[in-house]
Amino acid sequence: MAPYIDEALLDDPDELGRKDSRGTLRALASAGAQVREALELAREAGIDRLTEEDRPRSVLVAAVGGSSLVSDVLELLAEPGSPVPVQARRNLPLPGWVGPLDLVVAVSLSGRAHGPLAVAAEAARRGASLLTVGADDSPLAEVSRRARGIHVDVGRQRISSRTSLWTLLTPVLVGADRLGLLDAPEAVLTAVADRLDERATELRPSSESFVNPAKLLAMQLAETVPVVLGDGPLGGVAAQRASSMLARTARIPALCGELPDAASSIVACFDGPYTAVGGRRPGTYDERRIRLGDIDTSQWEPHHFDEPDGELMERRRGPEEEAGQDIFADPFLDGPSLPRLGLLMLRDAPAEPPTPESQQAEMLTEAVLTTAREAGARVMEVRAGTGAPVVRLADHIAMVDFAATYLSIGLGLDPSVSPHVADLRDRTS
């Protein structure tokens, strides 16, 4: 049985504000401003010093929790053309090859997360170069300054790494651009800020649900067991973000994957109990029978009975059943129905001009979507707008962030506060 989402609540800005105790929606709307502020803070921190230094032999990025997407994005954007390897690390041990010729990037909003702090301290001990992003009055900042590294402050009123992604990510992209690992000049990052502003306006709380794509997506997700799939590397990183936000913000577990690698594992789910097919191919006869009068045909084999005078009949699935709903089900006798599988496909902007590789990827995506629809899964698609890769990624991140937050509030949850997470912290502190 799918959870109940209060659609009326989503169209009441005042009620949205009351349910959102720490201003998650407001913080997400500030993403564009976060980019611009981070650009200024990076300049003040002296990040241009990186252009005066030799290019490192390798780059290692340490980030955990809500900050971990920083390393994923850097790997994604650097992979096509970076002259040096870029790797992610969550915690110690620091790889044995890290030394004075390498750069370690450590990211923590509070500057106190154990993993990045320990990695930065060990890297400093070995003489590696440091670029750190976090609170200015934190242990991480102190480690960086002692090692003569570059530390970028995160500014004020940043209370959650989930809603401060662009505060953390922007300085890292600036640094990578200065080192020639990727192409993210200030003009591109300004375009990111502009795109995030556009999405904040489009997805604002005062926009009614029938014209607000994030609210519509939240209502669709609420009716499903969601699976999030990216149609390529960029969509794959966005799918990881969606899975994390759905779990941490909306408390909805969601599988995620990236095409082409995840195609078979995701499509296999279409044969499971959360679709209309439920292990049977679409178009076959339903094993259930209608009982007419005193005659019960439930034991009759399909295709092996007649229909004298129209008294006996075999029923094919109607549209409600193809959608995963059985109009003949009795909730009191049969129990509540299972929620329906939902496939959220995060699609990149079409390649211009098309290439054989992009056309093949498009064919695979369409094949997966067609298979999902035929199986009775609910299909949702989000298409990124055009622009540089990081601009297109910002499109997807804005949509899934707002949708997960609206879903949380619509389910009656506070997107900022999880009692069980607080209990876990108390038990492990």
Tokens standing for residue 271:
């044969």
CB-based contacts of 356: which residues, under 8 Å, 6+ apart?
none
DSSP 259-300: TTTTHHHHHHGGGSTTSSSTTS-TTSPPS----BTTB--TTS
pLDDT at residue 53, rounded to an integer: 85
Model confidence over 186-228: pLDDT tens digits?
Answer: 999 999 999 999 999 999 999 999 999 999 999 999 999 999 9
* 3-state secondary structure at position 381: strand
pLDDT at residue 287, rounded to an integer: 39
pLDDT at residue 273, rounded to an integer: 87
pLDDT at residue 156, rounded to an integer: 80
Average the pLDDT over 141-159 and give the result: 93
What are the Cα distances from residue 293, in Å, to 185, 290, 297, 309? 75, 10, 11, 14
pLDDT over threshold 70, residue 415: yes
pLDDT at residue 327, rounded to an integer: 53
The length of the chain in residues reads 429
pLDDT at residue 315, rounded to an integer: 33
Share of the chain above pLDDT 70, in %: 86
Cβ(60)–Cβ(98) below 8 Å: yes
* 3-state secondary structure at position 167: helix
Candidates 187, 168, 165, 184; CA nearest to 176 is 184
Domains of the chain in sequence order: 1-22+203-276+317-429 (3.40.50.10490), 25-195 (3.40.50.10490)
Q: Comparing 32-41, 256-265, 273-282, 410-419, which segment has the lowest mean pLDDT?
A: 273-282
Report the DSSP beta bridge partners of residue 346: 230, 382
pLDDT over threshold 70, residue 341: yes
Report the distance separating Cα 399 and Cα 239, nearest Å.
Answer: 11
Average the pLDDT over 295-320 and give the result: 39
Preceding amide of 93 cis, omega within 30:
yes
Q: In angstroms, what is the C-alpha Rg of the chain?
A: 25
* 3-state secondary structure at position 87: strand
Tokens standing for residue 46:
């002296």
pLDDT at residue 326, rounded to an integer: 56
Report the distance separating Cα 100 and Cα 57, nearest Å.
Answer: 9
pLDDT at residue 300, rounded to an integer: 38
Q: What angle do CA 94, 100, 105 make, to 5 degrees?
A: 55
Report the DSSP beta bridge partners of residue 269: none
pLDDT at residue 425, rounded to an integer: 79
pLDDT over threshold 90, residue 305: no
Preceding amide of 260 cis, omega within 30:
yes
Model confidence over 46-87: pLDDT tens digits?
Answer: 999 999 888 999 999 999 988 999 999 999 999 999 999 999
Candidates 198, 184, 216, 205; CA nearest to 31 is 198
Cβ(344)–Cβ(382) below 8 Å: yes
Residue 336's pLDDT band, with cuts at 50, 70 and 90, is low
Report the distance separating Cα 311 and Cα 308, nearest Å.
Answer: 6
Report the distance separating Cα 171 and Cα 70, nearest Å.
Answer: 10
pLDDT, mean over the chain: 87
Share of the chain above pLDDT 90, in %: 70
Cβ(270)–Cβ(371) below 8 Å: yes
pLDDT at residue 339, rounded to an integer: 84
